[in-house]
């Protein structure tokens, strides 16, 4: 359709004006024509009537020879201004009468009527009037015959004049014109008013509303989706407006949805771990994400240019196989129906996983191609590492000295076994795999294995078979230590059984041998201890006799030499006795025959007694012994006072022995113990702790500190072993057996405690030990019964 070139607001009024004008002109023209015709008709009628009447009158008057009257008639006619020329012409065409006197008696040919002379004969002939209009239709001429003098007996009058009347229509036409003009003006004015009204109407109903629609469409086209035409009414335009508004609302909604989808897609694209590039069917870049630029190490301005080729060219240099890459890309662009997945290798060792597929609409139109890239360099590396680990594990599994095998849970067939397994059982993998225990082992063994396997599968946890006899092909019966566990699938059902077996045949044999040897050795130790105990006892008695005798001898009068000799005998005897006592104690402890007493005693008294015993020899060496104790120390405790004193004397005598100058400090502290734990703890001391106990148990800690020679660090660990001395020179210088500390530690351990030492060479040593002791039922103040052993009825 050809576009209408003018806007309605102009074209409608223009059309109306044009239409009005044409209408006005046409109606005016018709009116004029009509009026003119009417005027002419009226004039003709009038002229005819007048002509025939006047001709008749004149006829009559001339017959009665009343020429005067005829003259009067003519002059009366002449008073009518419309009658421009009136002539009465005789037979010879001479003017007889006229409204213009000057024309009388003149031939017609000299008057204005001359052009019409030609018609006269005809009129005379026919004896009938003739009417005719002038060329310009201004004048109407009536020509009538008038019988001037009828001759008697004449059939045909011979003297016939002519009445010529010229009627001027000008004034009438003017009046008619003016009337027509007025009417035309009036109707034009009405028409104009009507047109203006019409224009207003159109403006209201059409132009403005159309403009509003047009403006709304333009705004919509410019992206203002919230625009609405909102025309009211129920006409077609209003309907169009409603349709438009619905369309706009639809577009707005769709745009919103599209924008949302677009945003979501964009966000999705940006959030992806993959680099994404989308190219349309003309190989223009439609979309890409930041990750894409990062992966390909290109600035974002490059894809911004929108040309796929530019990107391709810029990345080629960094690729390991650029030709192959280009070929693949080109191939895929030429085969839009194909998807592809492969890897892109870079010169710097990076690997990208590339996936590409066409973008096809649901209607099957091809919109180009989408490319995904993911950096799988690390993945490949870890895969390689995993492979290495797998190889490593496999080699471990293959070379481990244990048999490792896997059976399927369904029918317990071997599905995997390592080399050690092959060697142990004496069957090759080919022989073993796919078979079960009944194919290799005696029935009772196979029954045993199968039952165990079923048990594991039922229980679902590890089974430890400490000793599993198994009949091998060429190594006879072997003893295995086997652990089996079920391997579950995702749903928690057992799928496999994994077994690990250690061949313990040799170890088992060695253990048996060892146990036997140990039993023999223990028996020997026992015998030795008993022997020593007996021997000690046997030696102690004569020794006491020897010492007693030498004391008696010393009381007698002896020469100085004799006294010296006897004194030597006595001191040597006492040393020997001490040694024997030590040995006796030690062997008692070793053979487990030492029983501790459980009697209430005063802790501080015991300590004081030990100090007193050593104070003399200390004083001899110029040493001082100080003792300290904590204030919260329990007064009375239950235990073996003799053995406690023995430990203290031992440590104190060592301190005195190995100290040249300075002081020796003994200190005691105590911590209340948790009752329950103490009663339940240990096997040795519980009797000691429990009997005679009446209240809380205490851990009592003793420390004997000296400023002596100290002990080298490397010797500390050997210190508490029996017969151990730091070095032989010490023995030579200080004497001793090397049993004291060993006995002391064992005693403290029997009392539920322990012993340890801190020492520095040249500065001194501190020996610590602890014992566990319950406080006694009845507490007697220490100072009331000094040195008295409290005896209480046993509970």
Residues that bind ligand ADP (CB under 6 A): 654-655, 658, 706, 708-709, 711, 719, 725-726, 730, 736-742, 765
Run of H or E residues at 660 = none
User: Considering only CA atoms, which of 95, 117, 93, 116 is closest in space to residue 105?
Assistant: 95
Q: Kind of pairing, strands 463-471 and 477-488?
A: antiparallel
Nearest one of 307, 305, 311, 338 to 325, comparing CA atoms: 311
What is the spatial distance between Cα 520 and Cα 524, in angstroms, rounded to a whole number? Answer: 6
Q: How far is the CB of 467 from ligand ADP (least distance, A)?
A: 44
Give least dist CB 736 to ligand ADP, A. Answer: 2
Structure tokens at 348: 């710097």
Q: What's the min distance (Å) between Cβ of 764 and ligand ADP?
A: 7
Minimum gap (Å) between residue 639 Cβ and ligand ADP: 22
User: Toward ligand ADP, which CB reaches closer, 524 or 575?
Assistant: 575
The set of residues, in sequence order, having a beta carbon less than 8 Å from that of 353 and lying 6+ positions away, is 341, 343, 372, 373, 374, 375, 376
Q: Which residue, 255 or 731, is less far from ligand ADP as judged by CB?
A: 731
Q: How far is the CB of 710 from ligand ADP (least distance, A)?
A: 6
Residue with smaller CB distance to ligand ADP, 285 or 655 = 655
- C-beta separation of 87 from 167 below 8 A: no
- Say if residues 415 and 406 touch (Cβ distance below 8 Å): yes
**Residue 256: which region, alpha, beta or left (left: phi > 0; alpha: psi -120 to 50)?**
alpha
∠624-625-629 over CA atoms, to 5°?
Answer: 145
Rounded to a whole number of angstroms, the CA Rg of the chain reads 77
How near is the Cβ of 456 to ligand ADP at its closest, in Å? 55
The residue whose Cβ lies closest to ligand ADP is 736
596: exposed, middle or buried (Cβ count in 10 Å: 0-12, 13-18, 19+): middle
Give the shortest CB-452-to-ligand ADP separation in angstroms: 54
CA distances from 505 to 236, 508, 518, 519 (A): 108, 5, 20, 21
> Tokens representing 509?
């044999």
**CB-wise, 143 or 741, nearer to ligand ADP?**
741
Q: How far is the CB of 648 from ligand ADP (least distance, A)?
A: 13
Q: CB-wise, 550 or 654, nearer to ligand ADP?
A: 654
Residues in a beta bridge with 671: 699
Q: Choose between 207 and 765: whose C-beta lies nearer to ligand ADP.
A: 765
Instruction: State which residue, 55 or 711, has the beta carbon closest to ligand ADP.
Output: 711
3-state secondary structure of 648: helix
Residues 584, 533: contact at Cβ < 8 Å?
yes
Q: In the 8-state DSSP scheme, what is residue 346? A: B
Per-residue three-class SS string for 209-237: HHHHHHHHHHHHHCCCCCCCCCCCCCCHH
Closest contact distance (angstroms) between CB of 734 and ligand ADP is 7
Of 195 and 652, nearer to ligand ADP (C-beta) is 652
- Nearest distance in Å: CB 581, ligand ADP: 12
Distance from C-alpha of 48 to C-alpha of 350, rounded to nearest angstrom:
126
Nearer to ligand ADP, 517 or 660 (CB): 660
Residue pair 99/85 in contact (Cβ under 8 Å)? The answer is yes
Smallest gap from Cβ 541 to ligand ADP, in A, equals: 23
Q: Which of 195, 196, 208 is nearest to 9 (CA)?
A: 208
| Of residues 327, 336, 280, 269, the one with CA closest to residue 308 | 280
Residue whose entry in the numeric block shows the structure tokens 């004896």: 127
Report, in Å, the least distance between residue 733 CB and ligand ADP.
9
Measured N-to-C along each axis, helices 236-271 and 208-221 cross at an angle, to the nearest 10 degrees, of: 10
Least Å distance, CB 752 to ligand ADP, is 22
Q: How far is CA 556 from each of CA 517, 550, 551, 568, rounded to the nearest angstrom? A: 57, 10, 9, 16
> Is 676 in contact with 685 (CB distance < 8 Å)?
no
Please say which residue, 692 or 753, places its beta carbon nearer to ligand ADP: 753
| Nearest-approach distance from CB 524 to ligand ADP, in angstroms | 24
Residue 349 — left, alpha, or beta (φ > 0 → left; ψ -120 to 50 → alpha)?
Answer: left
Q: Which residues of 217-238 are buried (b: 16+ CB within 10 A; e: fewer)?
A: eebbeeeebebbbebeeeeebb
42: which residues sit within 8 A by CB, 6+ positions away? 172
User: How far is 496 from 485, CA to CA, in rounded Å?
Assistant: 8
The string of DSSP letters for 719-742 reads TTSTT--S-HHHHHHH---S-HHH
Judged by CB, which is closer to ligand ADP: 542, or 735?
735
- Residue 718: how many CA atoms within 13 Å on its side-chain side? 11
Give the integer Cα–Cα distance in Å for 362 and 365: 7
Minimum Å gap between C-beta 709 and ligand ADP is 5
Q: Which is nearer to ligand ADP, 548 or 735 (CB)?
A: 735
Considering beta carbons, is residue 636 or 704 the nearer one to ligand ADP? Answer: 704
Residue with Cβ nearer ligand ADP (194 or 723)? 723
Task: Compute the least distance from the CB of residue 528 to ligand ADP, in Å.
Answer: 20
Nearer to ligand ADP, 538 or 727 (CB): 727
Q: Which is nearer to ligand ADP, 580 or 709 (CB)?
A: 709
- C-alpha span between 231 and 595 (Å, rounded): 119
What is the smallest separation between the CB atom of 650 and ligand ADP, expressed in angstroms?
6
Cβ nearer to ligand ADP, comparing 252 with 615: 615
What's the min distance (Å) between Cβ of 647 and ligand ADP? 11
Q: Which is nearer to ligand ADP, 529 or 744 (CB)?
A: 744
């Amino acid at each position: 359709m050809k576009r209408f070139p003018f806007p309605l607001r102009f074209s409608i009024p223009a059309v109306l004006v044009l239409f009005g004008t044409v209408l006005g002109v046409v109606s005016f023209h018709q009116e004029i024509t009509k009026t003119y015709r009417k005027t002419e008709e009226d004039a003709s009628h009038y002229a005819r009537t007048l002509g025939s009447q006047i001709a008749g009158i004149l006829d009559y008057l001339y017959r009665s020879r009343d020429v005067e009257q005829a003259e009067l008639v003519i002059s009366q006619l002449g008073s009518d201004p419309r009658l421009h020329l009136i002539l009465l012409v005789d037979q010879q065409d001479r003017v007889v009468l006229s409204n213009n006197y000057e024309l009388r008696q003149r031939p017609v040919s000299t008057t204005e009527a001359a052009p019409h002379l030609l018609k006269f004969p005809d009129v005379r002939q026919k004896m009938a009037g003739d009417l005719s209009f002038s060329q310009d239709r201004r004048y109407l001429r009536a020509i009538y015959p008038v019988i001037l003098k009828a001759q008697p007996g004449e059939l045909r009058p011979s003297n016939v004049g002519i009445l010529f009347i010229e009627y001027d229509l000008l004034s009438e036409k003017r009046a008619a014109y003016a009337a027509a003009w007025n009417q035309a003006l009036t109707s034009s004015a009405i028409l104009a008013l009507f047109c203006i009204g019409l224009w207003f109407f159109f403006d209201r109903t059409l132009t403005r509303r159309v403009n509003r629609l047009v403006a709304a469409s333009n705004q919509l086209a410019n992206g203002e989706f919230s625009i609405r035409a909102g025309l009211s009414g129920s006409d077609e335009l209003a309907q169009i407006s409603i349709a438009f508004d619905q369309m706009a609302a639809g577009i707005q909604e769709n745009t919103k949805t599209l924008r949302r989808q677009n945003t979501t897609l964009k966000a999705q694209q940006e959030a992806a771990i993959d680099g994404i590039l989308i190219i349309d069917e003309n190989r223009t870049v439609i979309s890409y994400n930041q990750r894409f630029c990062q992966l390909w190490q290109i600035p974002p301005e490059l894809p911004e240019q929108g040309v796929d080729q530019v990107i391709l060219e810029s990345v080629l240099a960094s690729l390991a196989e650029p030709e192959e890459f280009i070929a693949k890309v080109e191939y895929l662009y030429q085969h839009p129906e194909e998807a592809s997945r492969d890897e892109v290798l870079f010169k710097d060792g990076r690997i990208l996983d590339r996936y590409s597929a066409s973008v096809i609409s649901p209607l099957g139109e091809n919109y180009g191609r989408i490319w995904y890239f993911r950096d799988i360099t690390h993945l490949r590396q870890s895969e390689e590492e995993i492979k290495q680990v797998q190889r490593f594990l496999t080699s471990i599994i293959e070379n481990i000295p244990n048999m490792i095998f896997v059976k399927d849970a369904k029918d317990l067939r071997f599905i995997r076994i390592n080399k050690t397994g092959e060697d142990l059982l004496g069957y090759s993998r080919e022989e073993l795999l796919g078979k079960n225990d009944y194919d290799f082992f005696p029935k009772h063994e196979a029954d045993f294995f199968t039952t165990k396997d079923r048990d594991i599968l039922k229980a679902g946890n590890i089974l430890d078979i400490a000793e599993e006899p198994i009949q091998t092909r060429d190594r006879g019966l072997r003893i295995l230590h086997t652990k089996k566990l079920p391997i579950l699938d995702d749903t928690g059902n057992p799928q496999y059984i994994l077994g690990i077996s250690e061949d313990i045949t040799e170890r088992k044999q060695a253990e048996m041998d060892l146990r036997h040897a140990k039993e023999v050795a223990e028996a020997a130790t026992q015998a030795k201890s008993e022997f020593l105990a007996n021997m000690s006892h046997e030696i102690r008695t004569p020794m006491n006799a020897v010492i007693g005798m030498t004391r008696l001898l010393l009381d007698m009068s002896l020469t100085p030499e004799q006294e010296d000799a006897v004194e030597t005998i006595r001191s040597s005897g006492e040393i020997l006795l001490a040694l024997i006592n030590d040995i006796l104690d030690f062997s008692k402890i070793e053979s487990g025959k030492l029983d501790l007493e459980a009697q209430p005693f005063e802790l501080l008294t015991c300590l004081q007694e030990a100090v007193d015993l050593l104070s003399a020899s200390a004083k001899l060496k110029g040493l001082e012994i100080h003792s300290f104790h904590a204030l919260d120390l329990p007064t009375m405790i239950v235990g073996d006072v003799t053995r406690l004193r023995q430990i203290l004397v031992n440590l104190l005598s060592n301190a005195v022995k190995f100290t040249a100058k300075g002081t020796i400090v003994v200190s005691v502290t105590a911590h209340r113990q948790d009752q329950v734990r103490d009663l339940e703890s240990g096997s040795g001391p519980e009797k000691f702790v429990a009997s005679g106990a009446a209240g809380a148990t205490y851990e009592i800690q003793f420390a004997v500190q000296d400023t002596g020679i100290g002990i080298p660090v490397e010797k500390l660990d050997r210190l508490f072993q029996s017969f151990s001395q730091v070095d032989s020179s010490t023995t030579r210088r200080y004497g001793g057996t090397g049993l004291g500390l060993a006995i002391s530690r064992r005693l403290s351990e029997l009392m539920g405690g322990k012993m340890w030492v801190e020492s520095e060479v040249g500065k001194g040593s501190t020996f610590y030990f602890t014992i566990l002791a319950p406080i006694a039922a009845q507490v007697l103040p220490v100072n009331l019964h000094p040195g008295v052993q409290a005896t209480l009825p046993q509970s």
